[in-house]
Amino acid sequence: MRAWLWVFAVALVGSFAQSLGAEQRAHTERISGSAGDVLEDNPVGRLKVYVYELPSKYNKKLLQKDPRCLNHMFAAEIFMHRFLLSSPVRTLNPEEADWFYTPIYTTCDLTPTGLPLPFKSPRMTRSAIQLISSKWPYWNRTEGADHFFVVPHDFGACFHYQEEKAIDRGILSLLRHATLVQTFGQRNHVCLKEGSITIPPYAPPQKMQAHLIPQDTPRSIFVYFRGLFYDVNNDPEGGYYARGARAAVWENFKDNPLFDISTDHPTTYYEDMQRAVFCLCPLGWAPWSPRLVEAVVFGCIPVIIADDIVLPFADAIPWEEIGVFVAEEDVPDLDTILTSISPEVILRKQRLLANPSMKRAMLFPQPAQSGDAFHQILNGLARKLPHHKSVYLKTSEKVLNWTAGPVGDLKPW
């Protein structure tokens, strides 16, 4: 019953696609309204960034010790550093800087199996701030309000991968005034500070490029997902991991022929996403995952299952229009929700996803390209200028508490 409905939908989408193909080729579609324009903003000339020079123990040495840090989903912190060093927005004169950047690699501490741990990050961050605030006068002027930090771990500057513990810690107190550039985004959450810039996780651009298949390949998979449904090691009783949403996907749809879902990661993973209409992007430990990036890059409509998620560059990317949002509690109705989306709506989302500016904004390529995620971060920082006069503190006015937090975090790095 469901299967024939779906076949019908595919046929419809196919014929729509054919009739619209010519029109689509005639002009590259831009996102309507201001969204598309914002994505194409050029940050050069709109802000100047000063990059602090730190001893290599805060950055390069860590990478030398474990080069795998370049390949995991938090690698944006390293590539952002490299990007800024040669970016035209960089200034060598701190007196003219709008923003100050402290290059610390907070997630480059990997377990033998490659899992990045954030437990040393508070100590490293505090130590770096101590250093810049004693060596240069700029931190003390605002206690960091014109400084930004890239903190890409699961819960950003809360520096823990389990939500409850991250919430207990809260955002490292020394970062209270700074702008945080982070993958984590969830509304009304202690780990998301107002004014933070939410970015996509790092996904390897060359590798994705190498797996592209012809654009006109039919999308014969209705719903696609690869990944964990349960995390038995870290959540033995179940229900905590993904707040039970992934488990609900498995329990309800493991035998549904419309759902191509499994824990196996096939070598054709990227190709399969290009053959799918919908790609599930449920929360895991954190609300976000690299699937968001992969879905956009591979033109698969992201089905976002993560209540209150704040998506990357949400002020520039029309996520509501390209994706489908399903409340965590509605997962049992996922089949009905997705099969009742009309072919016209599917086609419109696919056409928006085909817009190259959308894909570019999701990636951190080397070398950088205009409109990529690096540029979107700079655009986000530029939109926050000028800094409000109130961020400049009076002499001797101090707000931040340098001794808050566990004693172990207070040691120099």
Chain residues that interact with ligand NAG, rule: CB under 6 A: 133-134, 137, 140, 398, 401, 403-404
Report yes or no: 280 and 249 within 8 Å, Cβ to Cβ. Answer: yes
Report yes or no: 280 and 224 within 8 Å, Cβ to Cβ. Answer: yes
The angle subtended at Cα 25 by Cα 23 and Cα 28, nearest 5°, is 100
Least gap, CB of 145 to ligand NAG (angstroms): 14
392: phi then psi, degrees, rounded to nearest 5: -85, 120
Handedness of CA 185, 186, 188, 190 (dihedral sign): negative
> Per the structure block, which two tokens stand in for 273?
């996403």
Instruction: Choose between 87 and 173: whose C-beta lies nearer to ligand NAG.
Output: 173
101, β-bridge pairs: 51, 148
Report yes or no: 154 and 144 within 8 Å, Cβ to Cβ. Answer: no
Least gap, CB of 173 to ligand NAG (angstroms): 8
Q: How far apart are CA 157 and CA 325, in angstroms?
A: 27
Residues in the chain: 413
Handedness of CA 345, 9, 283, 102 (dihedral sign): negative
Q: How far apart are CA 321 and CA 353, in angstroms?
A: 9
Least gap, CB of 174 to ligand NAG (angstroms): 11
Instruction: Choose between 347 and 404: whose C-beta lies nearer to ligand NAG.
Output: 404
Residue of 202, 164, 155, 131 whose CA lies nearest to 366: 202
Least gap, CB of 384 to ligand NAG (angstroms): 24
Instruction: Choose between 187 and 398: whose C-beta lies nearer to ligand NAG.
Output: 398
Instruction: Choose between 140 and 162: whose C-beta lies nearer to ligand NAG.
Output: 140
Residue of 303, 388, 334 whose CA lies nearest to 98: 388
51, β-bridge pairs: 101
Instruction: Choose between 133 and 196: whose C-beta lies nearer to ligand NAG.
Output: 133
Instruction: Choose between 122 and 201: whose C-beta lies nearer to ligand NAG.
Output: 122
Report yes or no: 145 and 387 within 8 Å, Cβ to Cβ. Answer: yes
Least gap, CB of 153 to ligand NAG (angstroms): 23
Look at residue 138 and give its three-state secondary structure.
helix
Least gap, CB of 102 to ligand NAG (angstroms): 15
Report yes or no: 191 and 156 within 8 Å, Cβ to Cβ. Answer: yes
Instruction: Choose between 160 and 219: whose C-beta lies nearer to ligand NAG.
Output: 160
Least gap, CB of 31 to ligand NAG (angstroms): 45
Least gap, CB of 411 to ligand NAG (angstroms): 15
Instruction: Choose between 134 and 370: whose C-beta lies nearer to ligand NAG.
Output: 134
Phi-psi region of 269 (alpha: psi -120 to 50; beta: other; left: phi over 0): alpha
Instruction: Choose between 150 and 178: whose C-beta lies nearer to ligand NAG.
Output: 178
Least gap, CB of 396 to ligand NAG (angstroms): 8
Report yes or no: 198 and 319 within 8 Å, Cβ to Cβ. Answer: no
